[in-house]
Structure 1
Amino acid sequence: MSKDQHTGTEVAPEEAQTPEVFENPGMEEHRERLADVDPRSAKRNERIIVLILVISALASIAGIVAYAVIPLDGESSSVRQSTLFLGLGLGIGLLGIGVAAIHWAKTLMSNVEYIEERHPQRSDDETRAIAADMMKAGVEDSGIGRRPVLKAALGGAVVLAPLPVVVPLVGNLGGEWNIDAYRHTIWGDTPEGFVGTLPDGSVGRRLARDPDDTPIRAADVTIGSAFHVIPHGMSEEEEYYNEKAKAVVLMVRMDPADLRERPERESWSYDGIVAYSKVCTHVGCPVALYERMTHHLLCPCHQSTFDLADEAKVVFGPADRPLPQLPIAVDDEGYLVATSDFHEPVGPTYWERLQ
Structure 2
Amino acid sequence: MSTDNSAQDLTVRDGASLPDRFENPGLPPHQQRMADVDPAASKRAERQVVALFAISVIGTIGFLVAYFALRPGESVESMRLSNVALGLSLFLAMFGIGAAAVHWAKTIMSDHEQQEARHPQRSDAEVRAGAVETLRIGAQESGVGRRGVLKGAVVSAVALVPLTFAVPLIGQVGGDWNVSKFRHTLWERGRRLVRDPSGEPIKASEVTIGSVYHVIPDGLREADHWIEEKAKAVVLMVRLDPRDLKESEERAGWSYDGIVAYSKICTHVGCPVALYEQQTHHLLCPCHQSTFDMADGARVVFGPASRPLPQLPITVDDEGYLVAQSDFTEPIGPSYWERLK
Instruction: With the length of structure 1 as denominator, give the TM-score of the two structures.
Output: 0.76
Once the two structures are TM-superposed, the CA of residue 159 in structure 1 deviates from its matched residue by: 2.3
CA-to-partner distance for each residue in 1:268-295, whole Å, 9 max, x for gaps?
Answer: 2211211111112232222223333443
| Preserved CA contact (<8 Å) 1:287 1:298 | yes
Is the 1:228–1:248 contact (alpha carbons within 8 Å) kept by the matching residues of 2? yes
* 1:236-277 residue CA offsets vs partner (Å, 9 max, x unmatched): 334232111111111112232333334443332211211111
Matched, 1:218 2:204: yes
Q: Once the two structures are superposed, what CA deviation does each residue of 1:128-160 show, in whole Å capped at 9, x if it has no partner?
A: 655543332111112223444432320110122
Deviates more, 1:279-288 or 1:256-265: 256-265
- Give, in whole Å, the separation in 1 of the partners of 2:41 and 2:136: 24
Runs of at least 5 residues in structure 2 that lack an aligned partner in the other structure = 11-20
Q: Which residue of 1 aligns with 2:180?
A: 180
Which aligned pairs between 1:116-195 and structure 2 lie closer than 5 A?
A: 116=115, 119-121=117-119, 130-172=130-172, 174-188=174-188
Q: Could you say if the C-alpha distance between residues 53 and 120 of structure 1 is closer, same or farther in structure 2, counting changes exceeding 3 Å?
A: closer
Deviation at 1:2, TM superposition (A): 5.4
Offset of residue 66 of structure 1: 1.0
Distance in 1 separating the partners of 2:229 and 2:135: 59
CA RMSD of aligned residues (A): 3.7
Which structure 2 residues correspond to residues 1-355 of structure 1 after superposition, within 5 A? 27=29, 46=46, 49-105=49-105, 108-110=108-110, 113=112, 116=115, 119-121=117-119, 130-172=130-172, 174-188=174-188, 204-350=190-336, 352-353=338-339
Q: 1:173 to 1:251 in 2, by over 3 A?
A: farther
Shift of the alpha carbon at 1:36?
6.6
Give distance in 2, aligned partners of 1:12 and 1:273.
Answer: 79
| Partners of 2:53 and 2:97 within 8 A in 1 | yes
Q: Is the 8 A contact 2:299 2:308 kept in 1?
A: yes
User: 1:198 matched to which residue of 2?
Assistant: none
> With structure 2 as the length reference, what TM-score do the two structures score?
0.78
Residue segments in structure 1 that go unaligned for 5+ positions in a row: 4-9, 189-202
Paired letter, 1:163: L
Deviations 1:134-188 (A, max 9, x none): 3321111122234444323201101222433443344246524223311111112
**Cα separation, 1, equivalents of 2:218 and 2:76:** 20
Aligned-residue offset at 1:122 = 5.0
* Distance of 2:160 and 2:45 partners within structure 1: 23
Q: Which moved more, 1:297-306 or 1:85-94?
A: 297-306
Q: 1:334 to 1:94 in 2, by over 3 A?
A: same
The number of aligned residues is: 327
The structure that has the greater radius of gyration is 1
Q: How has the CA–CA distance of structure 1 residues 158 and 354 changed in structure 2, closer, same or farther, with 3 Å as cutoff?
A: farther
Distance 2:34 2:294 in 1: 71
Percent of counterpart pairs with the same letter?
54
Distance, in Å, in 1 between the alignment partners of 2:330 and 2:162 is 39
C-alpha distance in structure 2 between counterparts of 1:73 and 1:42, whole Å: 49
